[in-house]
Amino acid sequence: MLEGQQRRKVAEAIKEVESRTDAEVVTVLAREADSYLYISTLWAAFLSLLLAPLAQFLPWWLDYREAFTLQWLLFIALAVLFRWRPLTMRLVPKKVKYWRAANLARRQFLEQELHSTRGRLGLLIFVAEAEHYVEILADRGLAERITNESWSEIVENFIREIKRGKTGEAFVHCVEKCGELLQETTPVSEIKNELPNHLIILD
């Protein structure tokens, strides 16, 4: 997650962009979109259940009750092991990670009231760091002026920088690139600041 100085740079970049456009820009950084507890637990249960068919190959002195106890111990050990975040994220299918992150992005769009800005010119830059997921959501007023392809190019560059561990710089670059598009399509016509400029952190 970003340090104080990096957060200030993001806030300054947003302030600079909003001084040149009528759009409202909000940035949200989530550590992760979900705990994925259910997936790590399912993996632990599945692998421990595999012990039952293999019971016949266990030593002769291991009776049914001992095998059942061993199965429970294996489940507990795997459940704890799979809670290690790097391992958890490898167990979660990419489609599931992106689906959870996309849902969180849309909830944030509504919670940050980007749908209620004047002229429907709200723009959300959302990042789920653990999932390496980036999405830019534009309200109706911007979607009518800027194509999805323009946002996609910015998102692809953003993701590349995040994977290199440069989340702070990536945020600033993304805000600046979005600002260039916004200045072209919705140049400033009045001074306003409807929504907060600081980077919103979701732990």
Mean pLDDT in consecutive groups of 10 residues from the start of the chain, 203 residues: 82 92 93 91 89 65 70 90 91 94 96 91 93 92 90 90 82 92 91 84 88
Number of H-type helices and E-type strands within the chain: 8, 4
Q: Residue 87: which residues within 8 A CB-CB, separation 6 or more? A: 81
Contact between 83 and 40 under an 8 Å Cβ cutoff? The reply is: yes
Token readout for 38 is: 């259910």
Contact between 185 and 123 under an 8 Å Cβ cutoff? The reply is: no
Architecture of domain 4-34+93-202 in CATH?
A: Roll (3.10)
In this predicted structure, what is the pLDDT of residue 78? 92
In the three-class reduction of DSSP (H, G, I as helix; E, B as strand; rest coil), residue 138 is classed as strand
Q: Please state the three-class secondary structure of 104-134 as a single string.
A: HHHHHHHHCCHHHCCCCCEEEEEEECCCCEE
In this predicted structure, what is the pLDDT of residue 1? 60
In this predicted structure, what is the pLDDT of residue 127? 92
- The Cα–Cα gap between 109 and 122 comes to 9
In this predicted structure, what is the pLDDT of residue 58? 60
- Give burial (CB, 10 Å; 0-12/13-18/19+) of 93: exposed
pTM summary value: 0.84
Question: Where are the domain boundaries for CATH 3.10.310.50 in the chain?
Answer: 4-34+93-202
Which uninterrupted H or E stretch holds 168?
Answer: helix 167-185
